[in-house]
Structure 1
Amino acid sequence: MKIAVAGGTGTVGRHVVDVAAARGHATVVLSRSCGVDLRHGAGLAAALTGVDVVVDATGVSTQAAERSREFFRAVTTHLLRAEREAGVGHHVVLSIVGVDRAPHGYYAGKALQEELVRAGGVPWTLLRTTQFHEFARQVLGQVRVGPLDLVPVMRSQPVAAREVAERLVDLAEAPPAGPARDLAGPQELRLVDMVRAYARATGRRGPVLAVPLPGAFGRALRDGTLIPGGDVDHGRQSFAQWLTTAPAR
């Protein structure tokens, strides 16, 4: 099988490439570093020649709803159009638990992405997961006030990016299935505790303070909206286990 990975150099995408190759699949990375501009569609037609499945693990660094929608609208539209023209038979997309219940900020773009995939004319499978263990690293240092690192008050159930990749390849190897079972980590944690633990493990000094965000999205972070229900699959690696091998910033 030939699998193309959109965002194949990112947090999850690089693992998808590794897992697929280890299972004997031919892989194609769809990223600017490999000559494909997903936002404008340049290079997509050639890259999808002979591809059986596209796994979309793209992302954008923003919390602005409009910028997120703009990114995912462009990328998803170009991907689906190119897949239809190339005869790709399966589109597997990575999304986030709770986007339908809290379509705000970054999640607004992911909610739009899901809508486009459902209506895009390419047989699809959608996997929603919780935040990755690497989320703690991404959040640390984003907002600083003097010596303080500020992070949102948030309930999370982090999952290993490698295990997400394994599930995505499992789904790519199977027929299109529509919505797949959600995948979450083995335990619920507070984001501030994750960030503090990551800071200690990597030698980062200074206090980390949790601050409640205003508005509907802030409430969703705090009230468990982004925590999956009972009928989900759970990853094996805990956040504490991941910390033993977590790289510094």
Structure 2
Amino acid sequence: MDKIEIISIGYKIVHHWNLLLFTVLAITGGVLFSIEVTSWFAYIIGSPLSTVLGTDPVTAGVQLLRTSHRFIGFIWGALLITYGIYLLAFRRVEIFKPLARPLSKQMAEAKALIRHYLTGRPLPPDVEKELERHNVLVSYMAILLFISIIFLSASGVLLVYKDALGISAATASWLVLLHDIGFALGLLFVAFHLFAVTHPSNRPLLVAMFGDGKAELSWVQKHMPKYLARRGLR
């Protein structure tokens, strides 16, 4: 066996849709967040519709971007909820397995991984042999993403229905702040994620995600030994 599947087709589909939807939400949200700076983008978007809507291009663009942001936000939320239910129902949650270990071992793995990523220092054998499908840094990043999604989802839904719920302007301003914090945490996750997947030692993961979902067995044996052991493939 030269290669082994580490990323299923379902995982890839969800990942790619997440990538697409989050990117669109980031762009539309970023424009709405700083319209004074990005009015040129709103102008480009709104120009074709300004005559039909009977308003100026920037206003038309903002309206279109706001509507798109809300609609796509609900689609993204539905995708996350559906996939989350699937993972829980079929016990496919792999990403938090490293958190089952004692905190001291988590910290030792995290420190070793950070040194490896930043300086290229090899992982200690006792850390390497405990590596799961996802390492402990990925688990921590997943928690960061989860918090981001909660902030974005809760504040976003409440802002959309603020009039129906009778939410005051003061409360709405706090919800906007919460939404912005969630967005910032999401961008922080993306930055960490991009750094990790573009690191030379993780290149097989990147190739698998955008390829056939498989990686060389020798690489998996080195980077995911416990995952292989659980599958009886060590």
TM-score normalized by the length of structure 1: 0.23
Higher relative contact order (CA 8 A, sep 6+): 2
Which structure has more strand as a fraction of its residues?
1
